[in-house]
Amino acid sequence: MSETMKPKISIVDYGLCNLYNVSNALEHIGANITIIDKPHDIEKASHIILPGVGAFKNGMRGLNLRELVQPLKEHIEKNRPFLGICLGMQMMLSKSYEFGEIEGLDIIDGDVEKIPKINSSNITHKIPHIGWNKVIINENVRNHHLLTGQDDKSSMYFVHSYRVNCNNKDNIMATTNYNDVNITAIINKNNAYGCQFHPEKSGKYGLNILKQFVKS
């Protein structure tokens, strides 16, 4: 595939991104990568990926300092493809309670809270949630194009201490279970998607997510 034929994917750099792993995964599946960090770059972008690790507050600060919040929201409002990964997914929500109440991008109505340390049976578990977990796809979206290639064996790699709560359950495409604690794994609104796991570290199933996003 020539460089001109490769789909162009823009990755947002706001100071809290694992650009290397995400870029490598996208190049592996045949995408043309551009790293962007300015408002006018977002205005011109076709497909945008917002990765990230760390605290919600620091993530939103990084976006605000670079004046990227409004351009990102406008990109999504125009129904252009958008994918948030890990912290990038969490920032799609209305607000977070990590280190106080912090406003998010408000793409999807809901909030972000710390994963409970104890389940309903009073069994404790380690936080952060780190490792491979099976992804449970909601039946009503099983045929969605983003989920092409996923099956009952789909397992993804998670690293996080907080989870998202969507007020509209129709925004939830898939969940995972951590010691009987329900965690939202994939969210969606129109052409905007979020993955709590790291698709770039999740083998063939994670790469399939990225492949389908590139095609959207």
Instruction: Retrieve residue 100's tokens.
Output: 């106080």
Could you tell me if residue 3 is inside a domain?
no
Name the residue range of residue 157's domain: 8-215
Whether 98 is in a domain gets the answer yes
| Residue 1 forms part of a structural domain | no
Q: Would residue 200 show up in a list of annotated catalytic residues for this protein?
A: yes
Q: Residue 168 domain-assigned?
A: yes
pTM above 0.85, yes or no: yes
pLDDT tens-digit readout, 3-17 = 446 778 999 999 887
CATH number of the domain to which 54 belongs: 3.40.50.880
The two structure tokens encoding residue 146: 């983003």
203-215 helix and 19-28 helix, angle to the nearest 10 degrees: 80
Give the pLDDT confidence of 29-50 residue by residue, as tens digits.
999 999 999 999 999 999 999 9
Q: Which one of 86, 129, 160, 166 is the catalytic residue?
A: 86
Contact between 125 and 179 (Cβ < 8 Å): yes
Q: Is 129 a catalytic residue?
A: no
Q: Is residue 124 part of a domain?
A: yes
Does 86 qualify as catalytic in the annotation?
yes
Tally of domains within the chain: 1
Residue 2: inside a domain: no
